[in-house]
Amino acid sequence: MARHVPFDTKYDLIRKFEKVAFILLLVSAFLILTNWMLGKFFDETVNKDYENLKDLGKVISYVSMIGYLIIKLVTKILFHNVEKLKRNDLIDNAFGTNYSDENTTEYYNNDETEYGIKKLALNSYESSFHTENTLKLMLYKNLIILVVLSIPFLLSIFSKGGSDIVRILFEISIPLTLLTDFVILFVYFQNVTSINERFKIEFTNLENENISESDVPKLLIPVMEYYSIKSWANTNLDSKIFNSNNEKISENWKKRKEKLKK
């Protein structure tokens, strides 16, 4: 049966919004840097000649900043709503229920496991395993974005004549937003890494293929922790990184699962 993920179209919409937001961020950074360079490296005559263009550039850059922040907020809301649908599908796949209008096929790779808590935990572990490995690669990319795109705003903020409070508030909002996103990503990664270690320990320590009543809370704790930190981070995984590494991560997941005691 072919792989089918009904909520992929909603994630695609979120990615389109994120792409637009990133373009607005680039536009704003470019205009801020251009204005700073004109004031820093060119004489007063040149600056007066381009005064109108500089003012227009400032307006466009501020509008781009506002657009970036608004779209970021919209994507957070949309992502939160899609994750609700995804959780319903998780429950359906784990317990054979029908909470979703349309379910995924070939999304989870644990069909050999019977319906129940064990399958819920195994599906959650698989999701968390993919999340950890994708976040690890996202951290490097986001750190570069944070450093490179913060530079134009920081140069403008700390340059001479940077006493305009409105301009400073506008420009400091972008580096702070990028820094906040990176810190959230880092905390998210650290927590998921710890949760995966807990999953590995609990599954390795299972005595029988059929779990006992005492095993239920042991398996539920990392499940609840994973979806708790995921909800807190409310961060969409980078689709390019995920898709380009999905096959390799899936193979690593199969190897990991083989080592778990059935």
* Cα-trace Rg, the chain: 23
Question: For residue 33, is pLDDT > 70?
Answer: yes
Instruction: Give the range of the structural domain holding residue 27, as residue numbers without chain letter.
Output: 8-259
Please indicate, yes or no, if residue 120 is contained in any of the structural domains: yes
| Token couple for 190 | 């650290």
| Overall number of domains in the chain | 1
- In the chain, % of residues over pLDDT 70: 96
Of the listed ranges 4-8, 201-205, 206-210, 249-253, the one predicted with least confidence: 206-210
Query: What's the token pair of residue 163?
Result: 């006493």
Task: Give the type of residue at 251.
Answer: E
The answer to whether position 1 is within a domain reads no
Kindly state whether residue 230 falls inside one of the protein's structural domains: yes
The residue type found at 62 is: Y
What average pLDDT does the structure give for the chain?
Answer: 90
Using CA atoms of 24, 27, 31, 37 in order, give the dihedral in degrees to the nearest 10: 130
Could you tell me the pLDDT band of residue 160, with boundaries at 50, 70 and 90?
A: low
Residue 81 lies in a domain: yes
Is 252 part of a structural domain of the chain?
yes
Q: What is the pLDDT of residue 11?
A: 92
| Residue type at 181 in one-letter notation | D
Calpha distance 245→251 (Å, rounded):
10
| pLDDT over 90 (residue 58) | no
Residue 261: pLDDT over 60: no
Give me the pLDDT at residue 163, please.
Answer: 54
Separation of CA 74 from chain center: 14
H or E element at residue 26: helix 8-41
| pLDDT for the residue numbered 77 | 96
For residue 150, list its beta bridge partners. none
Residue 50 in any domain: the answer is yes
| 95-108 pLDDT tens trace | 999 998 888 988 88
Question: How is 76-134 classified by DSSP, letter by letter?
Answer: HHHHHHHHHHHHHHHHHHHH----SSS--BSSSS-TTSPSSHHHHHHHHHHHHHHHHHH
Inter-residue contact 123 to 95 (CB < 8 Å): no
Global confidence as pTM:
0.90
Does 118 reside within a domain? yes
Query: Would 3 be classed as within a structural domain?
Result: no
